[in-house]
Structure 1
Amino acid sequence: MRDDHGELAAAQQEHWQHTYTDHPGMYGSTPSAPARHAADVFRRAGAATVLELGAGHGRDALYFAREGFTVHATDFSPVGLRQLDAAARAEALAERVTTTVHDVRAPLPLPDASVDAVFAHMLLCMALSTAEIHTLVGEVRRVLRPGGVFVYTVRHTGDAHYGTGIAHGDDIHEHGGFAVHFFPRRLVDELAVGWDLVDVHAFEEGELPRRLWRITQVAR
């Protein structure tokens, strides 16, 4: 088990940099199923501005822009965001998409109550400690307007990889260089305190398959 969480975080950032460099557009251009769901939820809520956390090379950010939202995309990988910027220009979506290199362990680079919706597909279940996840969700609440919607997905403790691979403590396990914080249900409920928890939807994605929850909650 690795004791230095900062060391793990730095190693993960480097790993993602190499991954996006070696595999440009690795997730393709088709939006994820959670992003398609989120777009519908955001539209029904009257949202116009969306913050995506952990946007990577941007398949979901670009989808939100195509759907008419103004998107601010963040990621800790400059390589991934450069690919997103290039794709936005190629699709004539640059006016709808802005990007910022940002590590979610730091405060979000936005003013209070400045966005209508926040989306994060498997960002909260990266190599973040439980304390860091709580702090991040507090930051999401800060930047959302009252009534704003937060849709996020996480791999959970029912996933086949949970409890295997390299253990880093705090329900974090590493496979193939990728460290994942697997969520128990109690963590989802803790993160929803002070919010209106609308939905916790179980679904599967990719190989194994990965087992995830899609959580929708609304800022009070």
Structure 2
Amino acid sequence: MSAGEEERNAMADGEQRLADAQRRQWQSTYTTNPGMYGEEPSEPAVHAASVFRTAGAGDVLELGAGQGRDSLYFARAGFTVRAVDFSPVALEQLHEAARASGVEERVRTAVQDVRDPLPLPDDSVDAVFAHMLLCMALSTEELHALVAEVRRVLRPGGTFVYTVRHTGDAHYGTGTPHGDGIFEHAGFAVHFFDRDLVDALADGWVLSEVHAFEEGGLPRRLWRVTQTLPR
């Protein structure tokens, strides 16, 4: 085995260990903190629903849906929702909330690691939403693969709205470094985006907005990105 192959294998092993650790961290967090984000939707989800409605979307795929506050908001707003997350615990909590809210028939869930191909046919959804999913412990290569999958499952003219923490955030460059712009704080790893990465992920799309906003403690500094597939 060449030195280059050994280095690539070591990097892959490190990425897998980090991914496994993050899955355990989120499973534990959701188990001990049901309803941790509350019932109100995130601001980006409210914005996305307006964008999707204007575009005539009928169904929404949410990536990294977690306990489902945004998926439930989309369902209450009249969309059919497909919610995916790598945490079975979170999706069970989402199911229970959907039943309690009377929107169970509008929400379907699937346990899914977004590093793997999405369990949907080509051209099968009108819109995709992801709040802080892309800035988890995903390598740049994995991000490109994920966005390619989003492109595959979106219908022509479909819209993708996502949010990420960026390099202007107070936590960028601090904590435990994992390479590729990923830093870990209190057990949670974040891939901080620069503008070049946003632009690279929008290659072949119509990039209509990169909106800066703040959320939560510190506060966290994020971008809300909106991009659309050409028809």
Give the TM-score band, short-chain normalised: over 0.9
Paired residue for 1:30, among 40, 44, 48? 40
Map Cα deviations across residues 110-139 of structure 1 (whole Å, 9 max, x no partner). 000000000000000000000000000000
Alignment match, 2:80: 70
Residue 160 (structure 2) pairs with residue 150 (structure 1):
yes
Q: Which letter does structure 1 place at the counterpart of 2:145?
A: T
What is the Cα deviation at residue 3 of structure 1? 6.6
Alignment match, 1:194: 204
The CA distance in 1 between the partners of 2:122 and 2:146, in whole Å, is: 14
What is the Cα deviation at residue 39 of structure 1? 0.1
SS in 2 for 1:8: helix
**Which aligned pairs between 1:50-65 and structure 2 lie closer than 5 A?**
50-65=60-75
Residue 23 (structure 2) pairs with residue 13 (structure 1):
yes
SS in 1 for 2:164: strand
Higher helix share: 2
What is the Cα deviation at residue 156 of structure 1? 0.3
Residue 119 (structure 2) pairs with residue 109 (structure 1):
yes
The CA distance in 1 between the partners of 2:101 and 2:15, in whole Å, is: 39
SS in 2 for 1:4: helix
What is the Cα deviation at residue 2 of structure 1? 10
The CA distance in 1 between the partners of 2:53 and 2:89, in whole Å, is: 30
Alignment match, 1:82: 92
Percent of pairs with identical residues? 73
| Contact 1:73 1:98 (8 Å CA) reproduced | yes
SS in 1 for 2:91: helix
SS in 2 for 1:197: strand
Map Cα deviations across residues 147-173 of structure 1 (whole Å, 9 max, x no partner). 000000000000000000000000000
Residue 222 (structure 2) pairs with residue 181 (structure 1):
no
| Contact 1:3 1:168 (8 Å CA) reproduced | no
Alignment match, 2:3: none
Q: How many residues align?
A: 220
Map Cα deviations across residues 4-61 of structure 1 (whole Å, 9 max, x no partner). 1100000000000000001001000000000000000000000000000000000000
| Contact 1:2 1:8 (8 Å CA) reproduced | no
What is the Cα deviation at residue 206 of structure 1? 0.2
Unaligned runs of 5+ in 2: 1-10
Q: Tell me which structure has the larger Cα radius of gyration.
A: 2
**Which aligned pairs between 1:90-169 and structure 2 lie closer than 5 A?**
90-169=100-179
The CA distance in 1 between the partners of 2:52 and 2:15, in whole Å, is: 34
The CA distance in 1 between the partners of 2:35 and 2:111, in whole Å, is: 17
| Contact 1:154 1:183 (8 Å CA) reproduced | yes
Residue 207 (structure 2) pairs with residue 170 (structure 1):
no
Scaled by the length of structure 2, what TM-score is found? 0.94
CA RMSD across the alignment? 1.1
The CA distance in 1 between the partners of 2:93 and 2:204, in whole Å, is: 36
